[in-house]
Structure 1
Amino acid sequence: MKTDICILGAGPGGATAALHLANGGHRCLLLDRATFPRDKVCGDALSGKVLSELRRIGEELPARLAAEPIQLPSWGIDFYAPNGRRLAVPFKPRYNPTHDRAAGHISKRIDFDNFLIEEVRRRPEIDFRENTDVARHEPLPGGGWRLLAADDQEIATCKLLLVANGAQSQFARVVGGHELEPAHHCAGLRAYYRGVQGLHPDNFIELHFIKEFLPGYLWVFPLPNGEANVGVGMLTEAVAKKKVKLRERLEEILHTHPALKDRFATAERLGPVRGFGLPLGSKRRPLSGSGYLLLGDAGSLIDPFSGEGISHAMVSGRHAADWAARALVAADVSAGFLKGYDNAVYNRLWQELRLSRGMQRLLGYPALFNFIANRAANNPTLAETISNMFLDLDLRERLRQPSFYLKLLLGK
């Protein structure tokens, strides 16, 4: 089959690109090797940026998601400093869960990704083919790509290939040059539990920065039906250097740490502990080349501090659709022209990725974490400032200003 635009991978990045192309009246071929609904190992948190990107696809989508039983509304984050101090950071200051729209949600990826796919299925402009495994890709002499199955049967040819097939993307590695770099890669584990005690009544997600586990962290995210997503993440470089056995450490922390052992004493693990790798956006890498664009995890766009990648995948999907449409109008899929996509994505995300990289480095200084947590817990103005940082990037810039630390020291 011949097509102008082919998208590899129907996760949030690929689905978002397809939906924006459909909104613009452009047809595309969307391929995924799985059959939906399908699971993906993830933390399952949907930030406010995800809701913003949903709204850009269709104004009604955030409300439709909020009405689904597949999700829980989440109103903030509980940070646990290395000294055990809890710092509650609402996503929205002075929120009212009875009247306000939720600033975030938590939903298993098997459900959220399928939510997007159900929207894809409604669009006649999108030729969506599941259970289609692209084993090889060949550049065509006149430009574009030929996609082949394992038996060398041709699946499709296209002028422009949008690569959104995840962190293990062979295309991103071989063609895009995104090699695994331990200093810019995170190793993670995730498990589902039922019966975890002490979850926040407003479904705050929990991030535990445990002194003995730094520079890694542990998370507990509440889910529908009394379940919770529980996992750990640590920079791959640190895992190798410290010879950390993540599975053993996860079990040990849950059953021995003073803040967690009672909460997990009667909890039941549902299914296996599953591992995954996260290519982090802590290094600026090329996102395009002749006839292709890299999206989401395939473009190494995961937040270095939080490990969040869904919203960044959706941001890149939106810009990929825009630049794919521009390339077709200009009849130009050259590497030079498509560099505009790189600029668009990094103009939106690079400042945030850079700041998150700095916050990631602070994990090596537990005393500073403790200091900030202690000050914020006793200073409503400072706590509100930190809260706003999760909604307003300009406020997060205060971390780089001396006046911020002066206020911190004076406790004002």
Structure 2
Amino acid sequence: MREVDICILGAGPGGATAALHLANAGQRCLLVDRATFPRDKICGDALSGKVVMELRRIGADLPGKLAASPMQVPAWGIDFFAPNGRRLSIPFKPTGGSTDVVGHVAKRLDFDNFLLEEVRRRPEIELLEGVDITRHERTAAGRWNLASTDGAVEISAKLLLVANGAQSAFVRQVAGHALEPAHHCAGLRTYYQGVTGLNPASFIELHFLEEFLPGYLWIFPLPNGQANVGVGMLTAAVSSKKINLRERLHEILATHPALKDRFATAERLGPVRGFGLPLGSKRRALSGEGYMLLGDAGSLIDPFTGEGISHAMVSGRHAADWAAQALAANNVAPSFLRQYDAAVYRRLGQELRLSHAMQRLLNYPWLFNFIANRATNNPTLAATLSSMFVDLDLRERLRQPSFYLKLLFGGKL
């Protein structure tokens, strides 16, 4: 039986970030994952500027190490494709005159291992790989007794940081979170070699096709001429419209006028794999007696963009902070740990609410077409669309009726 103060379940971006911040504070922890790294994680593979900011909070040298790595390509902008096919090519603009890369695209196989390599360097972190924790018991002494499926590993922990996904046994059985189709996205992802027509500056592509609304098809460039190709759609919509996403994705890539020639000679690398995205469109409890939920375990994915990596890292940073404070106060009661919930939602709450409102706008393809048509000849609007991914004030404007009235009648945006 290992006895520890802090045990972290899940060594993805949320769990690894929490462990590294704890190590930076001089706090030891045990980090456990059922996989052995490097391991694949089904995802869109895009790393936003918020990921870069969270890396910098862990260590000032990490953004540079990522940028210098051959595992990634720098992403310098977004190509939006409206339902009517109108293309908006919008470059990212670094703030403050910086020339740093705003975003990257890297396979999760590589990026998660990039973080794990930082974990391995820290003597404050004990890492257990290939250990699937399935038993979680709360003792009368106020500790968590954990055990692996085979019983070979047993752990006693004062505080649990749960970062092992929305469908983990702990999240379902202890935290009581259930899959809700109205707040969940169904996704597919595969890799291709030789997709033509990619932006030479490695812009990521978001195709808002009517067939997949509310949701979108993406094409994200990767090193060595590869691309991450996938689709995400609200689970409730998939069910109500009776869509077979796998068949529909294959059909769209083969027949859509804007895509069929680009994929005509492309080679698919491996299978099309499915995954679920627990969306932050509903505020859920992120803590309880002796535990905190991080990343997907807390359903923190952006409802509009599908971004989850940076949100997992944000929650990991705050979880490390409040874990240290809980130990110092010798208090892991729900009333104390709710301060973690408050910290996470102070940082992400407004963004998640605005993104949920924008997700609902995807039900009106004519509105997207209207905005795209206007933005073609309106640099201010084009810049607004770009900035909505990083600027909450501009994202707020996009959900206000006055914005569209000004757009319609030529007022100042």
Partner of 1:284 in structure 2? Answer: 283
In structure 2, the partner of 1:325 is 324
Closer/same/farther in 2, CA of residues 95 and 210 from structure 1, 3 Å limit? farther
| 8 Å contact kept, 1:144–1:161 | no
Deviation of residue 95 (structure 1)? 11
Post-superposition CA distance 1:145-179 (Å, at most 9, x none): 01112233452110000000023211111111110
CA distance in 2, matches of 1:301, 1:206: 23
Q: Structure 1 residues 40-49 or 215-224, which shifts more?
A: 215-224
**Deviation per residue, 1:282-311 (Å, 9 max, x gap):** 000000000000000011011111111000
Shift, 1:410, TM fit: 3.3
Give the distance between the partners of 1:252 and 1:409, measured in 2 at CA: 36
Q: Distance in 1 between matches of 2:152 and 2:194?
A: 49
The answer to whether the Cα contact below 8 Å between 2:94 and 2:100 also exists between their aligned partners in 1 is no
Cα offset for 1:142? Answer: 1.4
Aligned to 1:388: 387
Q: Residues of 1 paired with 2:208 and 2:14: CA distance? A: 30
SS for the counterpart of 2:307 is coil
- State how far apart, in whole Å, the 1-side matches of 2:96 and 2:45 are: 22
Look up the match of 2:241.
242
Distance between the aligned counterparts of 2:90 and 2:139, measured in 1? 52
Counterpart mapping for 1:248-259 below 5 A:
248-259=247-258
Name which of structure 1's ranges 320-329 and 237-246 shifts more when overlaid on structure 2: 237-246
The alpha-carbon deviation at position 395 of structure 1 amounts to 2.3
Q: 1:399 to 1:87 in 2, by over 3 A?
A: same
Where does residue 360 of structure 1 map in the other structure?
359
Whether the 8 Å CA contact 2:204–2:220 is kept in 1: the answer is yes
Partner of 2:267: 268
Whole-angstrom CA distance in 2 between matches of 1:280 and 1:53: 20
* CA distance in structure 1 between the partners assigned to 2:132 and 2:390 by the alignment: 38
Q: Distance in 2 between matches of 1:149 and 1:211?
A: 45
For each residue in 1:68-115, what CA deviation from the matched residue of structure 2 results, as whole angstroms up to 9, or x when unmatched?
00000001111110000011222217999xx82110000000000000
Say whether residues 1:295 and 2:294 are aligned partners.
Answer: yes
**1:171 and 2:158 equivalent?**
no
Moved more, 389-398 or 256-265: 389-398
Amino acid at match of 1:120: V
Q: What is the match of residue 112 of structure 1?
A: 111
Percent of matched pairs sharing the same residue: 75
Hey, what's the Cα distance between the residues in 1 that align with 2:139 and 2:153?
13
SS of residue matched to 2:315: helix
Contact 2:94 2:102 in 1 (8 A): no
AA in 2 matched with 1:366: P
Question: Partner of 1:384: helix, strand, or coil?
Answer: helix
Instruction: State the distance in 2 between where 1:206 and 1:94 align.
Output: 22
Report 1:145-164 matches (<5 A). Answer: 145-164=144-163
Measure, in 2, the Cα distance between the counterparts of 1:346 and 1:214.
Answer: 27
Q: Secondary structure at the match of 2:263?
A: coil
Q: Aligned with 1:263: secondary structure?
A: helix
Amino acid at match of 2:102: A
Q: C-alpha separation between the residues in 2 aligned to 1:370 and 1:329?
A: 55
Contact kept, 8 Å, 1:189 with 1:275, in 2: the verdict is yes
Deviates more, 1:213-222 or 1:241-250: 213-222
Structure 1 regions of 5+ residues with no counterpart?
none
State the distance in 2 between where 1:212 and 1:291 align. Answer: 44
2: distance between equivalents of 1:150 and 1:381?
A: 56
Provide the rounded CA distance (Å) in 2 between the counterparts of 1:188 and 1:235: 9
What is the match of residue 399 of structure 1?
398
Contact kept in structure 2, 1:25 and 1:125, CA below 8 Å:
yes
In structure 2, the residue matched to 1:29 is 30
Matches of 2:288 and 2:204, distance apart in 1: 38
CA distance in 2, matches of 1:68, 1:353: 31
Whether the 8 Å CA contact 1:33–1:132 is kept in 2: the answer is: yes
Structure-2 residue corresponding to 1:202: 201
Letter of the 1:210 counterpart: L
The Cα shift of 1:403 comes to 4.4
Q: Distance in 2 between matches of 1:136 and 1:52?
A: 35
Q: TM-score, normalised by structure 1?
A: 0.97
Distance 1:51 1:94 in 2: 13
Aligned-partner Cα distance in 2 for 1:110–1:311: 16
Q: Which moved more, 1:398-407 or 1:150-159?
A: 398-407
The yes-or-no answer on 1:343 pairing with 2:352 is no
Q: CA deviation at 1:327?
A: 0.1
1:48 match = 49
Equivalents in 2 of 1:331, 1:94: separation in Å? 42
Summarize deviations over 1:11-58 as a string: whole Å, max 9, x none: 000000000000000000000111110000000000000000000000
Change beyond 3 A, Cα 1:380–1:93? farther
Q: 2: distance between equivalents of 1:227 and 1:10?
A: 26
Deviation at 1:402, TM superposition (A): 4.7
Contact 2:131–2:153 (CA under 8 A) maintained in structure 1: no
Aligned partner of residue 264 in structure 2, secondary structure: coil
For 2:380 and 2:166, the matched residues in 1 are separated by 39
In structure 1, what is the Cα distance between the partners aligned to 2:96 and 2:29?
41
Instruction: State the distance in 1 between where 2:351 and 2:289 align.
Output: 28
* Structure 1 residue 8 corresponds to structure 2 residue 20: no
**Contact 1:91 1:391 (C-alpha < 8 Å) held by counterparts:** no
Is this contact kept in 2: 1:161–1:293, CA < 8 A? Answer: yes
CA–CA separation in structure 2 for the residues paired with 1:248 and 1:23: 47
> How far has the Cα of 1:362 moved from its partner?
1.0
8 Å contact from structure 1 (residues 191, 230) kept in 2: yes
CA-based RMSD of the aligned residues comes to 1.5
Instruction: State the 1:213 CA deviation.
Output: 2.9
Q: Equivalents in 1 of 2:78, 2:403: separation in Å?
A: 21
